[in-house]
Amino acid sequence: MDVTIAIDCMGGDFGPSVTLPAVSRFLQNDERAGAILVGLPAEVEPAVSAAKSRFGGRLQFQPASEVVNMDDPLATALRVKKDSSMRVAIDLVKEGRAQAAVSAGNTGALMAIARFVLKTLPGIDRPAIATILPTLRGHTYVLDLGANVDCEPQHLLQFGIMADMLVSAVEHKERPSVGLLNIGEEDIKGNEVVKQAGELLRQSGLNFYGNVEGDDIYKGTTDIVVCDGFVGNVLLKTSEGLARMLATFLREEFSRNPFRKLAGLIALPALNAFRNRVDPRRYNGASLLGLRGIVVKSHGSADQLAFAQAIERAAEEARNRLVERITERMARNVAQTALQ
């Protein structure tokens, strides 16, 4: 075993009914990896015992006595439920028993607990959340997605540096291009924070492409798109909403009458190929960046395939020493700044 992933089995809309089979799928596909399943003994332990014969020492169980609910206030998740499955999974990373943690639970709680337990890396003011979106050319990493509102220019710079390390680590792409999300109106060219962030990024040594606009994301103009967490959250959720509306309309048009239904059957291979190509499950797993440990957040509504994808992402990041890379890069950055 080269990496062990701590899994919060209780999180997400479906809990163990999705997370347990997802872990099994992951361990089957990745024979070098191990997993520690964290959850309420009654709901998780029997499944672990049953699968022991199959995965042996690669599969372990770690009990937790409570669960962070989606509507728990942050203070409850952080200060009251100290033995939650989410907390225990992150504790395992802190203790070095696991190299990464994955959870489909409440994003705000996960970030707060991860930040509290693991702490941020030197030189990072605020951890960020990064996700992958499909594009015309492949895919693009976008951050921040909501962990940080009211960002200052240096935060956007740090997001760029962390994403640069993420992409070079997991995509094995040296010097990925970084775009700064902005708007194109001639007279304005973005707000003050973005203008100043552009200056910092230009001087950063990153492969800074310059400003990009909203439509550049899905064009795939750059490997990375950096933005404030408010804007990132809005653009992600707007995209989800638009995709869902278009899927609904398409389905409706192919079921309007018997002829259309027949046409839909004949068109099924093309429609399925289309759907697979933009299947959000393939892009599941948002990375919490800037912490002294790897944490990946799965979409709450993830199914087995999607949750397994998030675990794979965590394993990739751990194998490619993402935390060490960001640490080294930030140390170099601090040294550079000190020399200036």
Query: Contact positions toward a copy of itself, by CB under 8 A?
Result: 73-74, 106-109, 111-112, 134-136, 146-147, 149-150, 181, 183-188, 190-192, 194, 213-219, 227, 229-231, 233-246, 248-250, 253-254, 256, 259-260, 263-264, 266-267, 269-271, 273-274, 277-278
Smallest separation, CB 263 to a copy of itself (Å): 5
Smallest separation, CB 316 to a copy of itself (Å): 25
Closest to a copy of itself by CB, 213 vs 324, is 213
Percent of the chain that is helix, strand, coil (3-state, to 5): 50, 20, 30
Closest to a copy of itself by CB, 50 vs 242, is 242
Closest to a copy of itself by CB, 31 vs 71, is 71
Closest to a copy of itself by CB, 63 vs 271, is 271
- Long-range CB pairs of 76-82, under 8 A, 24+ apart, other chains included: 77/106, 77/108, 77/109, 77/112, 77/113, 78/109, 78/112, 78/113, 78/116
Smallest separation, CB 148 to a copy of itself (Å): 8
55 Cβ contact partners less than 8 Å away, ≥ 6 residues apart: 24, 27
Q: Residues 89, 8: contact at Cβ < 8 Å? A: yes
* Burial status of residue 218 (CB atoms within 10 A of its CB: 0-12, 13-18, 19 or more): middle
User: How many CB atoms are closer than 10 A to CB 254?
Assistant: 16
Helices (runs of H) and strands (runs of E) counted in the chain: 13, 11
Smallest separation, CB 272 to a copy of itself (Å): 9
Please state whether beta strands 286-289 and 128-134 pair in parallel, antiparallel, or not at all (unpaired).
antiparallel
Smallest separation, CB 133 to a copy of itself (Å): 9
Give the Cα-Cα-Cα angle 76, 77, 82 (nearest 5 degrees): 100
Closest to a copy of itself by CB, 34 vs 105, is 105
Smallest separation, CB 190 to a copy of itself (Å): 6
Report the C-alpha gap between 275 and 277 in whole angstroms: 5
Closest to a copy of itself by CB, 31 vs 150, is 150
